[in-house]
Chains A and B, each alone.
Chain A
Amino acid sequence: MFYPSAKLKVDRRDGKLAMAHFFVAFTALAIGGLAGLLQTLVRSGKFELPAGIGYYQILTVHGVVLGLVLTTFFIMGFQIAATSKTSGTLTNKQRLAGWIGFWLMTAGTVLAAIMILLNEATVLYTFYAPLQAHALYYIGLTLVIVGSWIDGAAIIMKYAEWRRKNPGQPSPLLTFMSLVNTMMWIVATIGVASTVLFQLLPWSLGLVETVNIAVSRTLFWYFGHPLVYFWLLPAYMAWYVVIPKVIGGKIFSDSLARLSFILFLLFSIPVGFHHQLMEPGIDPAWKFLQVILTFLVVIPSLMTAFSLFATFESFGRSKGARGLFGWVKKLPWGDARFTVPFIGMVAFIPAGAGGIVNASHQMNQVVHNTIWVTGHFHLTVATSVVLTFFGVSYWLIPHLTGRTLTKAMNKLGIIQAVIWVIGMTFMSGSMHAAGLLGAPRRSSYSEYGGAAQALEWIPYQVAQAIGGSILFLGIILMLYIFINLAFFAPKGEQEFPVGEPADDAEKAPMVFENWKLWLGITVVLILFAYTIPFIDLIQNAPPGAKGYKLW
């Protein structure tokens, strides 16, 4: 396949745009990580927050800053860099869209952060209407979403331009993947934008007195699950395209990589009910339908697992590895750019298994809203995804700043990942265990009046604090590496690794670029899964709920 700009460096001006995103992302990591540390310490029962700061206030900080800010900024920065690298430098207009998006997102983040710090918005990032935050909190988060759309428009415009200039050619794989994730994000965020603009904002401004809770929650979770795939797909971009080049191998199959991304686009969105299995007002048959759709993402996940390990094995065998697992030894374990994301991949095995439990129609009842769920997504997003993002940072940051990853930093990167695994094993492991015993999530330290069952949970909470403290050390180390790569590492050329497919002669079928088809199917699936239950929720709605400020 023809990659016209595969040898080029990312243009300095695009690099600045991407770096701006990364500065916000890593600031978020520092703040959100500190909040997380404090939460685990409070829950251990051995520590109280000073100066009247509330547990749920820092919980809101943790969720918003890591779940929305760190992820969205990192992903947008990465996708802009990847698109610029593989489809060519952004035009001035495209770059301007990127900057407008960036500043809108940043302004929104600051606004939401001020409201959280003033204790006007202790509603967590999942909103929890009829808890009612200050209108400026909702406006801030709306700006983050709208900013991300404009940011994403830069990627869409670049893709359209590339296709215009290269008729009949499949787009470069990394651009294609960035585009799929951007479109999935836009379709998904329509849900959260709708509940905020049409329900929560008018209600918090006092224009309407009550709000339909079930509709608001349904719109939120229409967004809430694709959100996790929006986090995951950039990690998949690195796994599919970057890692093969880092180890010196080939992409197993360009076409199958595209197919799996298309499947994620189709099956990521019409699945939100599996977060609402325990809720009244929704017919269980519709819940079951969405459970089935949820599980269809197993198919692209299996394809991904196969491709990655096929790449590793082919590479090892090409280096003369023998036996069933001889290829494992040939992999470049000393290279942080490989090893750190690899640890993320391995973490996805237990993480995915836990996800199957959560989404199961019946088993969900055992774990719903217990701290098991918190343990689950600290494996998916806070290990698989975040370690991959760290692994990407080790080459992308120096590539963009004209520096190099030194041997010392490379080694620190690997140490960082090992610390992360140790901390997460303690924290996520004890969260899973306590959750099975019934310990609730999103809850401050409580002995529940000395109840015997609650006392059983406390040792696990101490273990979570130990894990959380180790993880915080990992965050400090990561910030140190980031600052080094951004400002102090020696000047030089750091490669932006873009893999080439093994099936070089075989062109990816053009049907993958047919967005009328794929977006059409996406919309049909969404309408199929949501229309009737959504009409039900509106037609059979109880009287609306007034706002409460209970914090």
Chain B
Amino acid sequence: MHMHKFEKAWLIFGIGSLLVFLTVLGVSAFYLGNQPPSCLATIDPEKVDTTAPFNEPGLKKVEGKDWDYELVYVASAFSYSPAEVEIPYGAKVKIIATTKDVVHGFEVAGSNINMMLEPGYISEHVTTFDKTGEYLIVCNEYCGVGHHMMSSKIKVVE
């Protein structure tokens, strides 16, 4: 099988660029720790309300951890608990969320916080809120007739 020399050059350049690109992704993921949310912890979806920490949704100060606060969300058709939360500016927060019924999304619009909530699983994301303002949380995975009404609010305050 014969390959034109221009095609060889084109493919070497293309595959080379691809390797560079994948290396960047890999270094970011495994060296800098920028992995997508992939929490492996599970929960009984029927017992969310009585299982810690989901028995007390909301923001809680924690000591002795890599983050200052834990922010716990329980999603169910078609709302999040809590419906609104105030976070001090600059706080490092671990968001911990799950769903009581169907699959929901958890997206803080205008940020990189974006994860799927699936029944039986816990989803986590650690982030620092370093911009004040009001952020809208939307469900971005179809969950039923009220899907587009499902939202919550984060206020980052000084």
- On chain A, the residues within 8 Å of B118 by CB distance are 213-214, 217, 279-281
Q: How far is the CA of A281 from the CA of B121 in the complex (A)?
A: 7
Whole-angstrom distance from the CB of A434 to the nearest CB of chain B? 11
Q: How far is the CA of A493 from the CA of B25 in the complex (A)?
A: 54
Q: Is B134 an interface residue (CB 8 A)?
A: yes
- On chain A, the residues within 8 Å of B145 by CB distance are 54, 56, 122, 550-551
Q: Which of B37-45, B52-60, B65-73 contacts A (4 or more CB under 8 A)?
A: B37-45
Q: Which of A190-198, A386-394, A450-458 contacts B (4 or more CB under 8 A)?
A: A450-458
Q: How far is the CA of A217 from the CA of B118 in the complex (A)?
A: 10
- Which one, B11, B34, B120, contacts A213 given CB within 8 A? B120
Q: Is B135 an interface residue (CB 8 A)?
A: yes
Q: Is A422 an interface residue (CB 8 A)?
A: no
Interchain CB contact under 8 A, B123 and A280: yes
Interchain CB contact under 8 A, A545 and B7: no
**A364-376: contact bitstring with B at CB < 8 Å (1 yes, 0 no)?**
1110111000000
Q: How far is the CA of A310 from the CA of B115 in the complex (A)?
A: 43
Interchain CB contact under 8 A, B101 and A548: yes
Known: A361-B36, A366-B114, A544-B120. A281 touches B144 (CB 8 A): no
**B97-133: contact bitstring with A at CB < 8 Å (1 yes, 0 no)?**
0000111010111111111111111110000000000
Interchain CB contact under 8 A, B114 and A278: yes
Q: How far is the CA of A129 from the CA of B115 in the complex (A)?
A: 17
Interchain CB contact under 8 A, B42 and A540: yes
Q: How far is the CA of A96 from the CA of B34 in the complex (A)?
A: 54
Q: Of all chain B residues, which has the CB nearest A457?
A: B109
Q: Of all chain A residues, which has the CB nearest B103?
A: A128
Q: Is B22 an interface residue (CB 8 A)?
A: yes
- On chain A, the residues within 8 Å of B141 by CB distance are 128, 369, 442
Q: Is B26 an interface residue (CB 8 A)?
A: yes
- On chain A, the residues within 8 Å of B138 by CB distance are 438, 440, 443, 448, 454
Q: How far is the CA of A256 from the CA of B1 in the complex (A)?
A: 8
Whole-angstrom distance from the CB of B74 to the nearest CB of chain A? 15
Q: Is B46 an interface residue (CB 8 A)?
A: yes
Known: A284-B38, A361-B36, A362-B28. A454 touches B136 (CB 8 A): yes
- Which one, A214, A303, A509, contacts B1 given CB within 8 A? A509
**A341-374: contact bitstring with B at CB < 8 Å (1 yes, 0 no)?**
0000000000000001000111011101110000
User: Which residues of B, 44-97, contact A by the 8 Å Cβ criterion?
Assistant: 44-46, 77-78
Q: Is A306 an interface residue (CB 8 A)?
A: yes
Q: Is A534 an interface residue (CB 8 A)?
A: no
Tell me how many residue pairs across A and B have CB atoms closer than 8 Å: 233
Whole-angstrom distance from the CB of B157 to the nearest CB of chain A? 16
- Which one, A280, A288, A295, A503, contacts B39 given CB within 8 A? A280
Q: Is A492 an interface residue (CB 8 A)?
A: no
Q: How far is the CA of A364 from the CA of B38 in the complex (A)?
A: 13
- On chain B, the residues within 8 Å of A440 by CB distance are 105, 107, 138-140, 148
Q: Is A494 an interface residue (CB 8 A)?
A: no
Q: Of all chain A residues, which has the CB nearest B115?
A: A278
Known: A131-B143, A310-B7, A542-B45. A550 touches B77 (CB 8 A): yes
Q: Of all chain B residues, which has the CB nearest A551?
A: B145
Interchain CB contact under 8 A, B40 and A281: yes
Interchain CB contact under 8 A, A453 and B107: no
- Which one, B21, B134, B135, contacts A295 given CB within 8 A? B21
Q: How far is the CA of A347 from the CA of B14 in the complex (A)?
A: 20
Q: How far is the CA of A124 from the CA of B102 in the complex (A)?
A: 14
Known: A56-B147, A369-B105, A444-B147. A545 touches B119 (CB 8 A): yes
Interchain CB contact under 8 A, B7 and A306: yes
**A35-48: contact bitstring with B at CB < 8 Å (1 yes, 0 no)?**
00000000000000
Q: How far is the CA of A89 from the CA of B150 in the complex (A)?
A: 56
Q: Is A449 an interface residue (CB 8 A)?
A: yes
User: Which residues of A, 417-461, contact B by the 8 Å Cβ criterion?
Assistant: 437-446, 448-449, 451-454
Q: How far is the CA of A86 from the CA of B7 in the complex (A)?
A: 28
- On chain A, the residues within 8 Å of B111 by CB distance are 438
**A287-317: contact bitstring with B at CB < 8 Å (1 yes, 0 no)?**
1100110010011001100110010000000
Interchain CB contact under 8 A, A213 and B103: yes
Q: How far is the CA of A422 from the CA of B115 in the complex (A)?
A: 34
Q: How far is the CA of A366 from the CA of B144 in the complex (A)?
A: 24
Q: How far is the CA of A283 from the CA of B14 in the complex (A)?
A: 29
Whole-angstrom distance from the CB of B51 to the nearest CB of chain A? 11
Q: How far is the CA of A446 from the CA of B139 in the complex (A)?
A: 12
Whole-angstrom distance from the CB of A296 to the nearest CB of chain B? 8
Q: Is A506 an interface residue (CB 8 A)?
A: yes
Whole-angstrom distance from the CB of A124 to the nearest CB of chain B? 6
- On chain B, the residues within 8 Å of A453 by CB distance are 109-110, 134-136
Q: Is A255 an interface residue (CB 8 A)?
A: yes
Q: How far is the CA of A277 from the CA of B35 in the complex (A)?
A: 9
Counting chain B CB atoms within 10 Å of each CB, which of A255, A279, A509, A548 scores highest?
Answer: A279
- Which one, B3, B18, B25, contacts A361 given CB within 8 A? B25
Q: How far is the CA of A362 from the CA of B146 in the complex (A)?
A: 30
- On chain A, the residues within 8 Å of B134 by CB distance are 451-453
Interchain CB contact under 8 A, B10 and A365: no
Interchain CB contact under 8 A, A280 and B7: no
A280-B118, A284-B29, A443-B142 are known; give 9 further A-B pairs, CB within 8 A.
A129-B103, A213-B118, A214-B118, A214-B121, A278-B116, A302-B15, A370-B107, A451-B134, A454-B138
A interface list, Cβ under 8 A from B: 54-56, 59, 122, 124, 128-131, 213-214, 217, 253, 255-256, 259, 276-285, 287-288, 291-292, 295, 298-299, 302-303, 306-307, 310, 356, 360-362, 364-366, 368-370, 437-446, 448-449, 451-454, 503, 506, 508-509, 540-545, 548, 550-551
Q: Can you offer 16 A-B residue contacts whose CB atoms are under 8 A? A: A59-B142, A128-B142, A253-B4, A276-B116, A280-B41, A280-B116, A288-B25, A295-B18, A298-B14, A437-B110, A451-B134, A453-B109, A453-B135, A543-B46, A545-B119, A550-B146
B interface list, Cβ under 8 A from A: 1-4, 6-7, 10-11, 14-15, 18, 21-22, 25-26, 28-30, 34-46, 77-78, 101-103, 105, 107-123, 134-136, 138-149, 151, 153
